[in-house]
């Protein structure tokens, strides 16, 4: 492994781990920009999925008590998502992933940009089980079709009047569960080559350490600040997604 490859691998692992520890999602969006410079797309996604699951387990432990006390709420998101993943995979042949990612990217940028500039945040209160299930299912479909399972749940949770622990107790286990299924699919497809496993072995300690730093920051963020952070991150995530798709189009 050359120094250039090692440096980009460490940088991606650090960026993805920190944002996962801080917000409970976003590993792929913040790490793939580095990984795609040294790996082919399938290998890069396979590696980042493994790192997302490994680092995400730490975040689940942080909010385990809230997750267990609100497990019915989590199930309203997660169970429909599990049904949506195979549907997303099955419709993949009828969709153009590049165009789908651009649409989602614009949606993230518009939503994040609009509410980032507002002094008051959206505050949707009360139980919304039907919407929770719809968002969870749609996230599963997008996860299977374009590896974008966290986009809609993150936007929806940022509008709910929940504490940061309640929000994370939905997003973190949701993303870990969906990505775990994705990792199994990659294993079946033989995506984890010897080189991929070496990359993962080198990146895991960095990802774990940076996730702990992100978790430490999370513990000190106020609830309202965490909601605003999620909204800002949706904007950043959308911008990164659009930028990556634009450069991929220009390179093709």
- Nearest residue to 52 (alpha-carbon basis) of 159, 191, 171: 171
Contact 103, 203 (CB under 8 A): no
Predicted pLDDT of residue 74: 92
At 67, which helix (H) or strand (E)?
helix 64-69
pLDDT in tens, 66-77: 888 888 999 999
Helix (H, G, I), strand (E, B) or coil at 160: strand
Predicted pLDDT of residue 209: 95
Predicted pLDDT of residue 44: 83
* Number of alpha carbons in the 13 Å side-chain half-sphere of residue 223: 11
Q: What is the pTM of this model?
A: 0.80
Give the number of other CB atoms < 10 A from CB of residue 117.
Answer: 9
- Dihedral of alpha carbons 31, 139, 238, 214, sign: negative
pLDDT in tens, 151-191: 788 888 888 888 888 888 998 999 899 888 888 888 887 88
| In the chain, domain spans | 3-251
Predicted pLDDT of residue 121: 66
Tokens of 18: 């920190």
Place of tokens 């702990």: 212
Tokens of 41: 């797309």
Q: Which residues are registered as beta bridge partners of 160?
A: 124
Could you say which residues of the chain have pLDDT below 70?
A: 92-98, 100, 114-115, 117-122, 145-147, 252
Predicted pLDDT of residue 135: 93
> How far, in Å, CA of 105 to CA of 95, rounded?
16
């Amino acid at each position: 492994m050359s120094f250039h490859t090692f440096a980009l691998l460490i940088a991606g692992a650090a960026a993805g781990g920190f944002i996962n520890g801080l917000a409970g999602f976003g590993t792929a969006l913040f790490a793939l920009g580095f990984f795609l410079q040294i790996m082919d797309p399938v290998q890069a996604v396979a590696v980042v999925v493994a790192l997302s699951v490994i680092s995400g387990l730490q975040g689940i432990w942080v909010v385990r008590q809230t997750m267990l006390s609100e497990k019915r709420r989590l199930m309203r998101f997660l169970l429909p998502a599990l049904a949506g993943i195979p549907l997303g995979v099955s419709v993949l042949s009828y969709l153009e992933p590049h165009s789908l990612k651009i649409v989602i990217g614009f949606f993230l940028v518009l939503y994040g940009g609009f509410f980032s500039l507002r002094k008051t945040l959206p505050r949707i209160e009360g139980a919304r089980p039907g919407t929770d299930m719809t968002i969870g299912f749609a996230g599963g479909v997008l996860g299977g079709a374009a590896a974008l399972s966290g986009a809609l749940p993150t936007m929806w949770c940022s509008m709910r009047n929940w504490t940061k622990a309640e929000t994370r107790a939905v997003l973190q286990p949701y993303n870990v569960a969906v990505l775990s299924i994705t990792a199994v699919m990659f294993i079946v497809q033989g995506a984890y080559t010897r080189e991929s496993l070496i990359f993962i072995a080198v990146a895991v300690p960095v990802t774990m350490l940076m996730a702990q730093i992100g978790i430490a920051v999370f513990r000190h963020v106020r609830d309202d600040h965490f909601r605003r952070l999620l909204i800002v991150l949706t904007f950043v995530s959308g911008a990164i997604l659009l930028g990556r798709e634009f450069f991929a189009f220009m390179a093709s």
